[in-house]
Structure 1
Amino acid sequence: MRLPILIVIWCVVLEDVTARTPKKSIEEFKIALRRFAAYLTYTTINSGTGNMIYSPTSLAEVLGMLEAGARGETKSQIQTAMLLQSADAEWVTNLGNLFRKTGNRVFDLKTPKRQDKALVTMANKMYIQDQFEIIPDYATELEQHYGAEAENLDFSLPSKAAQKINKWVHNKTGGMIQDLVSPDDLNELTRLVLVNGLYFKAKWRTTMKLQGQKTFNGRAGTQQVDFIGEKMKIPLRLSRGVQTVYLDYKSSIGTYMVISVPQDSYAWSQFWNYNNLLNYFGTITTKPAAKAVFLSMPKFELEEAIDMKPIFHSMRIYDMFDTNAANFSGITTGEDLHVSTFKHKAKITVDEYGTRASAATLVSLLARSSQRVHRVTVNKPFVFCIVRDGHILFVGKVADLN
C-alpha cells in the first residue's frame, strides 16, 4: 500500500536577501526564477478569470524541498517545471540558502531604531508522524538549507494535529492566516507535512492621503471603493497599451511594488501571453526614469486559497501525486510516499500607510503643477508584483474589488 505525503503550503510575501552565492550564479538563478514565474503565471491565469495572488518564489522553494527528496522521473518533472536543467539542480539548493537568511535579518517595525524598516519573517516546519523514520540526510538538508525544524505529530488524531499546525502558521504570519489545514486533510496514512510560513509588512516611502470613494470598473461591474493617493515622483513605464508604475517601500533598498494597468481589453488579453509575461518579468526588475505622477489607488484586502494540484498537472507535474508513480525514496526507503494535498494561501492588505502581506492598486489625480504630470488611472483590472533585488517574489491580479 502506498502511503501519502501531505504537502501544505502557506505564502503571502517573501522578501529575500542575497546570500553568499557567486554573483554569476545569482544572476542566472534570478533569470531561471523569472522563467518559472512566467510559466506559473501563464498556467494559473488560464485556470480562472477572477482575482489571483501567489508567490512564485515561495512555491519554488517548497518545490525545492520536495525535489531534494524526489528521485527518478518525479525529480525530473519538478526540475522541468521549474525550467531547470539537471545540471542546474544545485540552484534549487541555492534558493533555500538565499531565502533561509531572511528570518535572521528581520526588521521589526516595533523596534524604535528600525521602525521604518520592512518587517519580513519566514519559517519552514516539518511535521513527521510518530514512529515514522525519514532518511537522516534528507532531514539534514532541509534543516541546513531551508531552516526547516522537525517535530513529531500524531496524524491519527487529525483535529489535534490540524490545530497544532494552524497555531504555528498563525504565529508565523502575524495572525493573518488562520485555519489553513482542515482535519479532513489529515488521516492515519499521513506521514509528513511540510509547512512554509511567510509574512511581510512595510510602509510606503511616500505616505498617501485618503480620497474618499471612487469607482472601480471591475470585470463583474462597477464598484464603489475607498481610494488613497498622493502626488509623487516615481518610475513610470508606458508600453504596449500598459501603464506601469513602481512604488518604493520606506528604507527598503531594492524592494518595491510594481502595478501595471492594461488600458483596454486587447492589451489585457495580450498581457497574459507567455512570451509577453516572460518579457514583463524581465523588465520590471529594472526601474525606468522617475516622472511626476498623481497617483490614486484603492484600499483593499484580498485573500486567496489555491489548490495547486490541477495547476501543477497543467505544468506536467504528475508523478508526485500518483500513488503508483511517485518516487520519494530520498525521504524514506521504508514506505512508498506520494503527495496527497498541496495548498497555497495568501492574504494582502493595502492602505494609505503601506502593505501588510502585499498588494496594490493605482489611480491618478490631476492637480495644478508647473511641470508635466502624468496621469495613471487604475480604475480597471490590474496586475501587481513585488520585486526584491531582481527576484519576482509575488504576483497578483485584481479583477474585482468586492
Structure 2
Amino acid sequence: MLILDILSPLLLLPLLLLGYGCRAADIPEDTTSEFSVRLYHQLQVAGGQDNIIFSPLSVAVALGMVELGARGASLAEIRQTLGFNHLLPGVEFSLLQNLTAAVSNDDAHCVIRFANSLFLQEGIAFNPEFLHLMRKYFRAQVETVDFSQSAAVAEQINSWVENQTESKIRELLSAEDFSSVTRLTLVNAIYFRGSWKNQFRPENTRTFSFSKDDGSEVQTLMMYQQGDFYYGEFSDGSQEAGGVYQVLEMPYEGEDMSMMIVLPRQEVPLASLEPIIKAPLLEEWANNVKRQKVEVYLPRFKVEQKIDLKSSLQGLGIKNIFTSDADLSAMTDGKDLYIEKAVQKAYLEVTEEGAEGAVGSGMIALTRTLVLYPQVMADHPFFFIIRNRRTASILFMGRVMTPEVIEPNDHDFDSI
C-alpha cells in the first residue's frame, strides 16, 4: 500500500498481501522473476535468522500503480527494476492486468482476490486520466477522506484491509502514518485460500523435532504423506550449496498453482544454498522436476511478516520516488509528491488441508529406514515459492527458519 504525502514525506505504506491463485489464462509469461529473486536477497541480507514471506506479484502490482502516476526518472527506475524495459511503454500495465485477472477467478477449490483502493484527500484535484487508468488496469476503488483526521482514516483503511483478507491482516496502519499533508493512500490487498491436490491426512500428523540452523531444536507438528509429486535432485556443481539439494513441487487443486520447496541436506545451513538462487534457476527447477511417488514430511507452519520495503527497493535501484526529486506529476499537476515509506505485510499458513484451516493432530511413527521412494524430510530450514505454473508468476516467496513451535502445554502437544 502506498501513502503519499505532499512536500512532507509521502508514505508508501503497505502493499498488503496474502495469496496465491488458480486457473491461469493463456497469457504472456511473467517477466518479473529476476526482480522477485533480487528482492528476496535484499530481504535475506536484512533478515538474519528470521522467517521471510512476501509476495513479488503484489509488490509488482503496487509499483505498477505508482508507475501510472510517474514520469521522467521516477518512471524509468521502476521500469528498469521490474524488468519492463524490453516492453513497449505501457504494455506492462496490460501484462499486470492479465496476470492478476488470470488468477482472480473463484474456483471450486481455490480462491484468490486482488483488491486495490485509492484513498484521496478531500479537495485535491487528481488527474482524471490517472484515475481512469487505475480503474482500467487495476480495478481500483476510489474514496475521498480527510487525512487530518488520522485516527478515523487509519480505522477506515484497516477495516477495508481486514475485510479483503478475511481478517488475516489486521491493524496495518496507525494514526501516526497520516498527517494533514498526506494526499493519497494506495492499498493493494491479496487474499488466497486453497487446498492441496493431495491433502495430508490429519491422523498422520505428529510432533517432531525441527533442527534450526543455529544448532538448536524446536518441537513442531510434522505432516506426512506418500503421494505423486514433482521431484528432482539438483547440484550446484561445487560445495558452495552443500552439493546436492532437493526440490519438491506440490500442486494445489487444479494444478495451476503449486508450492515449490527447496531443501538443502540436513547438515547444510540454508544460508549456504541461498546465494545460488537466481531467476534462471527457478526456471530450471520448474522444467526439470519429474512426477513420481515421494514420501513427504512437511511441518505445519504459519508465517506473518511486515516488511519495510523502502531500503530494499532503493537497493534494487528504485530511489527517485523516495526523494524530493520524484516526478509523480501524472497523478496531479504538480511535482510535490514523493514517497517516504514502503511497507508490505504478508500472511501464509500451511496445513494438512492446504493454505488455510486448523485440524486436529494424531500420531504416526516416522522413520528414515526402509525408504522405497525419494524422501523429502523438511525438518530443517527450507526455501519456498508459491507460483502459477502456467504464467510463472510468483505469488509468494520466502523461507522457513522456524516453523510453528509447539510448546509442551499446547493442546496439540497434549493430544499427542
Contact persistence 1:173–1:197 (CA under 8 A): yes
Give distance in 2, aligned partners of 1:334 and 1:36: 30
Quick check: 1:189 aligned with 2:181? Answer: yes
Q: Which residue of 1 aligns with 2:240?
A: none
1:199 to 171, 184, 191: 191
Contact persistence 2:246–2:262 (CA under 8 A): yes
Alignment of 1:211-360 (within 5 A): 211-220=205-214, 221-240=216-235, 241-250=244-253, 252-263=254-265, 268-273=270-275, 276-286=277-287, 288-322=289-323, 324-334=324-334, 336-356=336-356
Quick check: 1:12 aligned with 2:15? Answer: no
> Secondary structure at 1:65's aligned position in 2?
helix
Q: Larger deviation: 308-317 or 6-15?
A: 6-15
Give distance in 1, aligned partners of 2:173 and 2:97: 27
TM-score (norm 1): 0.87
C-alpha RMSD of the superposition? 2.2
TM-score (norm 2): 0.84
Give distance in 2, aligned partners of 1:20 and 1:301: 32
Shift of 1:103: 7.7
Change (3 A) 1:261 1:77: same
Taking only the aligned residue pairs, the percentage that are identical comes to 24
> Secondary structure at 1:312's aligned position in 2?
helix
Contact persistence 1:142–1:148 (CA under 8 A): yes
Alignment of 1:78-157 (within 5 A): 78-85=78-85, 87-101=87-101, 105-107=105-107, 114=108, 117-157=109-149
Letter in 2 for 1:231: Q
Q: Larger deviation: 40-49 or 224-233?
A: 40-49
Give distance in 1, aligned partners of 2:367 and 2:140: 47
Give distance in 2, aligned partners of 1:295 and 1:87: 41
Structure 1, unaligned runs of 5 or more: 108-113, 358-363
Contact persistence 1:100–1:147 (CA under 8 A): no
Change (3 A) 1:99 1:290: closer
Contact persistence 2:195–2:355 (CA under 8 A): yes
Shift of 1:149: 0.9
Letter in 2 for 1:7: L
Q: Which residue of 2 aligns with 1:42?
A: 41
Contact persistence 1:258–1:385 (CA under 8 A): yes
User: What per-residue deviation string (whole Å, max 9, x for no partner) do you get for residues 338-394 of structure 1?
Assistant: 11221100111111111139xxxxxx855768xx31121111110111111222221
Shift of 1:80: 1.6
User: What per-residue deviation string (whole Å, max 9, x for no partner) do you get for residues 61-96 of structure 1?
Assistant: 111111111111111111121122174443420233
Change (3 A) 1:69 1:76: same
> Secondary structure at 1:208's aligned position in 2?
coil
> Secondary structure at 1:46's aligned position in 2?
helix
Shift of 1:248: 1.2
Alignment of 1:387-398 (within 5 A): 387-388=387-388, 389=390, 390-398=392-400
Quick check: 1:177 aligned with 2:183? Answer: no
Quick check: 1:58 aligned with 2:58? Answer: yes
Number of equivalences: 376
- The runs of at least 4 aligned residues of structure 1 exceeding 2 Å deviation read 3-8, 14-21, 86-92, 99-104, 264-273, 283-288, 364-369
> Secondary structure at 1:223's aligned position in 2?
strand
